[in-house]
Amino acid sequence: MQTLWKIIMFFLSIFLILAAHIFVVNFLPFPFSHINIIFSLSLLILTISPSSRVLWLALITSYVSELFSSIPFGIGTAALFISLLIINWFQLNILTNRSVYMIFLSAILGISLYRALFVLLLTVNNYFYSLAPLPYREILADAGWEVLLSSLLLFFLYLLDVKFLRHFRSSSSKSIRMYG
């Protein structure tokens, strides 16, 4: 029963993240439509409850999201997956402090890395298929908005978690009992 519940929650999470991403892209005006909900929420979940399930969740969410993109399939998913793994390594070895500022920095690094990988893969694709060069200046401006707004969103969500939600989680309650 618990396994079934976990599976339902897993697919519900994917559905909700996708719905939130589509809402942001379609409904919000510029520049808020550039907030990268899929990456932000994947990184948030990876930070507050690290589990390999998060990577599967990010993979499936990104896969479905790519079905509604004109970019050659695989570029977005690969960029997201690689950048999430790199940021996870950074959080393990360099950005080990779990303060909100470090999460903000992780988000800036992660989303910048994601967009850089995305553009790099797209440039390679365009080169091999002899397509028109990308409008790098405009992409840079858009990426700037994306990094800034997505990082701010992640900052506030993590702050919300630290200040309010963490106290309601069972793992946190146990540590409070153990360490006072």
Partner 1 sequence: MLRFKAKNYFFLGFVLALIIIFHYLGWLNFLERGARSIIVPISSKITHWRLSSQDSYDYFSNKEEVVSNYTKCLEKNQNFEVADAKLKNLEQENIELKKQLNFLRSHNFKNVTAEVVGRNTDSVEKMIIISAGETSGIKLNQPVVVGDGILVGTIAKVEKNISMVRLINDNQSKIAATLLNKDGSLGVVEGGYGLSIKMNFIPRNETVLIGDQIITSGMEQTIPRGLLIGEVAIAENEAYQPFQQAVLTASTDLSKLFIVSVLVSN
Which positions ≥6 away from 40 have C-beta within 8 Å? Answer: 107, 111, 150, 153, 154, 157
Query: Is 34 among the residues that bind partner 1 (CB under 8 A)?
Result: yes
DSSP per-residue codes, 80-128: HHHHHHHHHHHHHHT----SHHHHHHHHHHHHHHHHHHHHHHHHHHHHH
Cis peptide bond prior to 135, omega within 30° of 0? no
The nearest distance, CB 46 to partner 1, in angstroms, is 7
Among 21, 42, 103, 110, binds partner 1 (CB under 8 A): 21
Residue 6: its H or E element: helix 2-27
Task: Compare residues 1 and 128 and give the one whose CB is closer to partner 1.
Answer: 128
Among 2, 4, 27, 129, binds partner 1 (CB under 8 A): 27
Task: Compare residues 118 and 155 and give the one whose CB is closer to partner 1.
Answer: 118
Task: Compare residues 14 and 157 and give the one whose CB is closer to partner 1.
Answer: 14
Alpha carbon of 40 to those of 3, 59, 84, 127, 177: distances in Å? 26, 14, 10, 30, 31
The 112-151 site mask, x for binding partner 1 (CB under 8 A), equals ------x---x---------x-xx--xx--x---x-----
Residue 13: its H or E element: helix 2-27
DSSP letter for 1, please.
-
The nearest distance, CB 63 to partner 1, in angstroms, is 6
Query: Is 64 among the residues that bind partner 1 (CB under 8 A)?
Result: yes
Q: Would you tell me which residues interact with partner 1 (CB under 8 A)?
A: 15, 18-19, 21-23, 25-27, 33-34, 46, 50-52, 54-55, 59, 63-71, 73-74, 76-78, 81, 85, 88, 91-92, 118, 122, 132, 134-135, 138-139, 142, 146
